[in-house]
Amino acid sequence: FIGALPPILFLSVPSPCGTPPVAPVGRLNRSLRYVCLNHSVLFFFGVLPDAPSTEQQELFTQKLQQCCMLFDFLDSVMDLKSKEIKRATLNELVDYVSTNRGVLVESTYPEITNMICTNIFRTLPPSDNPDFDPEEDEPTLEASWPHVQLVYEFLLRFLENPDFQPSIAKRHIDQKFVLQLLELFDSEDPRERDFLKTILHRIYGKFLGLRAFIRKQINNIFLRFIYETEHFNGVAELLEILGSIINGFALPLKAEHKQFLMKVLIPLHTAKGLALFHAQLAYCVVQFLEKDPTLTEPVIRGLLKFWPRTCSQKEVMFLGEIEEILDVIEPTQFKKIQEPLFKQISKCVANPHFQVAERALYFWNNEYILSLIEENIDKVLPIMFGSLYRISKEHWNPTIVALVYNVLKTLMEMNCTLFDELTSSYKAERQREKKKEQERDELWKKLDELRLSRRERRSFGSI
């Protein structure tokens, strides 16, 4: 059965009118190029389980080679039969690798990686919309996804197969392979990025020799994103992988890991599209602080350095991250950062944007943060009191005023004596300010009167 099959994996159809074959290149619905050389038609080989066991390996290899054929998905009616044969073959390969043992012999590794590389590695096209906003616009979906999805699924099953041997695969899944894989994270299709995330995580886990290289290349992608391009679609997915990697770091942390935190992760907070990946970024930062609490002070000072001044949405995100950090902070570290931190929180509480003020006031709903404040009330209360007292009288939003009253009540219960002293001091200061304003107004009034009298004398003298 197998021996009678020709080594040719597809039937060639001559080009019309003797013209040379042209590989159609283009994008369907703003998608990628896919090419079917010579308008070839795939040949159905039969099903793997139906073949004699002695010939299954050869048929498996032939099917892998057959799936290296690429098709033009720009035309929805072109090569329909061949596209369906390839889709069915890929499904069969996924099932075969998932359910059979002894499939991954050494000779199949180059065939497998060649099929994978041929199908998934390509230059990503520029976005159809130069002003593409991931938060507002619909992403470009990969037109050839019916095939590409199955190739990704096959790669994942290949890596997870119990017979998978990294010692053999490392000849093919090397630094070049990883680089090309990382470039695909810029795909606009979230389905593709989700597969890539899982696959890169598996590669990181199985190939110890590639770990440092993967971390370095992710570092480079982030630095280009921060300081050059300001655009990369897969930041959230890469950060999600990093969150898992950081969780596995051995202690004490290496200098390169600390440098990555301070030189890459903290500056990532300045990105315009922070909302797209902030949850994953905050998780990575907190993971570092749980590993090494001594990093708390430089991290919080770094966040305060990059604190947003004009974007309320980002300010709310920063406050959320600060609360996550305070949830895991050690009391000794809290003492080091309480003064600069609560000066910023005081500004946020006084922010006219009610969402910023509301998010800052929610800190007083956190029991652990309340315990830290109570232990350091003599430092925190003097910083916060002025803003809170003023807002309780002046803020335009009644919800904020109600929250402020609750916070003031809580602080008063923590240290009634200090609260009374600050109240008296604040009122006295306000009286001094009012007196100065009154004196200033009187001075201006006298100056106006003097100016008018001089003008009158000048007018009288001219007569």
Task: Please write the tens of the pLDDT for every residue from 278-320.
Answer: 999 999 999 999 999 999 999 999 999 999 999 999 999 999 9
Mean pLDDT of the chain: 87
* Residue 83 belongs to a domain: yes
Contacts of 56 (CB under 8 A, 6+ apart): 48
In sequence order, what are the beta bridge partners of 11? 41
Question: Angle, to 10 degrees, between the axis of helix 190-206 and the axis of helix 211-224?
Answer: 140
Q: What's the helix, strand, coil split of the chain in %, to 5?
A: 70, 0, 30
Q: Is a pLDDT exceeding 70 seen at residue 38? A: no
> Which residues are within 8 A (CB) of 447 and not within 5 positions of it... i.e. 6 or more apart?
none
Is position 158 within any domain? yes
Flag the least confident range among 83-87, 139-143, 427-431.
427-431
Task: Using pLDDT thresholds of 50, 70 and 90, give the confidence band for residue 5.
Answer: very low
pLDDT of residue 24: 35
Predicted confidence (pLDDT) at residue 393 exceeds the cutoff of 50 = yes
Model pLDDT, residue 463: 57
Furthest-apart CA atoms within the chain: distance in Å: 128
Nearest C-alpha neighbor of 73 from the set 123, 139, 142, 126: 142
In a domain, 89, yes or no: yes
Is residue 93 included in any domain, yes or no?
Answer: yes
| Beta-carbon contacts of residue 59 (< 8 Å; ≥ 6 apart) | 2, 45, 46, 48, 51
- Classify residue 7: in a domain, yes or no: yes
Domain, as residue range, for 95: 1-123+142-163
Q: Is residue 200 part of a domain?
A: no
Q: Stretch 341-359: mean pLDDT, rounded?
A: 96
Q: Is residue 445 domain-resident?
A: no
Q: Which range has highest mean pLDDT (47-51, 142-146, 194-198)?
A: 194-198
- What is the total count of domains within the chain? 1
User: pLDDT digit string (tens) for 43-94?
Assistant: 666 677 666 777 888 889 999 999 999 988 777 777 788 889 999 999 999 9
For residue 305, tell me if it sits in a domain.
Answer: no
How would residue 230 be classed by pLDDT, with cut points 50, 70 and 90? confident
Question: CA–CA separation, 335 vs 343, rounded Å?
Answer: 14
User: Closest Cα partner for 290 from 254, 329, 319, 335?
Assistant: 329
